[in-house]
Amino acid sequence: MAQTPAQQRNSFPLAAYNFRVSIDGASMRFVKVSGLHRQHQTASYRHGLSFMEGEQITKFRVDRYETVTLEQGTVVGSLFLQRWLEQRTPAVMELSLCDATGAPAVVWRIAKALPVKLSAPAFDARSNEAVIDTLELKAAGISVEHV
């Protein structure tokens, strides 16, 4: 049986290249975002009924700070990343994975994103590649919302 276009959109994965990043509400351009995941610290322990219920029980604690890496093409006069690194203040960040029409389909929200490292690219006179800066963040309070 043939699928309708709406069924096809809901059954095929989204393209990874179609995303938007905003930091404190300002839209930013990045070529790559990596390391975005949500993980909790755990504690395992034994208790008096371990012989019946199992030896270890794992409990979730608080969100950990995770390392997220953003890569951006270097543009003359674009100082946002450098200023943000120097301010030393956390910001709210959103990464929206968009569908074919450009509307957000999945949104990752980071409650506290703090830049900790800005790396310059390797310079090579024999290469004709674009210059890409790498920004490393410590991120906490990551949540995922399907729009």
User: What is the distance between the alpha carbons of residues 132 and 10, in angstroms, rounded to a whole number?
Assistant: 34
What residue ranges in the chain does DSSP mark as E strands?
Answer: 19-23, 26-28, 32-34, 40-45, 57-63, 66-73, 91-98, 104-119, 132-146
Residue 97 pLDDT grade (very low, low, confident, very high; cuts 50, 70, 90): very high
Q: Are 84 and 117 in contact (CB under 8 A)?
A: no
- Look up tokens 């909790």; give the residue: 40
44: number of CA atoms within 13 Å, CB side?
A: 4
Q: Which helix (H) or strand (E) holds 6?
A: helix 5-11
Domain locations in the chain as residue ranges: 14-146
- Work out the angle at residue 50's Cα, subtended by the Cα atoms of residues 47 and 54, and round it to the nearest 5 degrees: 130
* Whole-number percent of the chain with pLDDT over 90: 30
- Look up tokens 């790559």; give the residue: 32
> What are the pLDDT digits (tens) for 56-87?
767 676 677 889 999 988 778 777 888 888 88
CATH number of 14-146: 2.30.110.20
Q: What is the structure's pLDDT at 90?
A: 92
